[in-house]
Amino acid sequence: MSQHEDIHPKGQLVIQTVAMPADTNAHGDIFGGWLVSHMDMGAGIAARHRARSRCVTVAIDSMTFIKRVLVGDTVCCYADILKVGRTSMQIQIEVWTNGLVEDKHKKVAEGVFTFVAIDDHGKPHPVDR
Ligand SMILES: CC(C)(COP(=O)(O)OP(=O)(O)OC[C@H]1O[C@@H](n2cnc3c(N)ncnc32)[C@H](O)[C@@H]1OP(=O)(O)O)[C@@H](O)C(=O)NCCC(=O)NCCS
């Protein structure tokens, strides 16, 4: 079993949506940038929930596309907070899909994003305060 062949998602479900024809690349599969944007949003939801404030992405530490995503797939993003620093949080996001025809939950992408909690002036502030 490879490192990506997990059976269960890790973390909390933060986003669930359906991949639409408008989200495809030139080959008709789902565009990787669309997936990254959802992962960023999902990690941001986990970050703001943890810090109870605005949060911004400061880094994408890793990003792996494991399997292609098809139009009509249900796309689920799961967030797991790996580390909380003073003002930053490192969040792992896994993306799992369910196909319409083949109803099998499979991991299609994973990444680690770093967010920073910010105040109303855009300056970092402690996550725990
Ligand atoms: C995020 C931002 C507020 C950080 O400001 P800054 O003055 O660099 O802040 P600091 O140097 O005090 O770092 C704040 C925290 O971010 C972490 N950090 C900074 N750059 C980082 C990087 N490249 N990777 C990982 N962590 C980083 C620091 O380690 C620190 O963490 P800690 O407090 O838990 O120890 C600022 O860089 C920013 O506004 N960036 C743009 C964010 C944005 O617009 N994102 C959306 C992109 S479309």
Predicted local distance difference test score (pLDDT) of residue 7: 84
CB of 99 closer than 6 A to ligand 1? no
CB of 59 closer than 6 A to ligand 1? yes
As a whole number of angstroms, the distance between CA 102 and CA 18 comes to 15
Predicted local distance difference test score (pLDDT) of residue 99: 83
Domains and CATH numbers, the chain: 12-118 (3.10.129.10)
CB of 58 closer than 6 A to ligand 1? yes
Predicted local distance difference test score (pLDDT) of residue 1: 47
Tens digits of pLDDT across the chain (129 residues): 455 567 899 999 999 999 999 999 999 999 999 999 999 999 999 999 999 999 999 999 999 999 999 999 999 999 999 999 999 999 999 999 998 777 789 999 999 999 999 999 999 999 998
Predicted local distance difference test score (pLDDT) of residue 3: 57
- Distance from the alpha carbon of residue 36 to the mean position of ligand 1, in angstroms: 19
